[in-house]
Amino acid sequence: MVSGPARLLCPDDDIHFEGALRSLVDEPGSTVGSMSQELLAADVAAANLEGPVTTSTTRAPKELEEPDNRYWFGGPPAAIEVLT
């Protein structure tokens, strides 16, 4: 057993900046909502950013997919400020 101070770990699930969260990147001081306090209180917090951070608006095709049935996740560089 390891002794020492307790550490609070806060794993989160997938986060993306499409749909309802897209407008957050344009609002200074925005956070990711109700989970922000828990993430800030943690000694270590991690989440899966579900998509690229990019300035491109071109969606790259993928083989073996139907383009009309594909989810497209991505966000502008300002999304990093919301996460930090």
Q: Tens of pLDDT along 44-63?
A: 888 888 888 888 877 777 77
Task: Collect all residues with Cβ–Cβ distance below 8 Å to 38 and sequence separation of at least 6.
Answer: 10
What percent of the chain is modeled with pLDDT above 70? Answer: 92
Residue-averaged pLDDT of the chain: 80
Give me the residue spans of the domains in the chain.
9-54+70-83
Distance CA 35, CA 49 (A): 15
Q: Model-level pTM greater than 0.95?
A: no
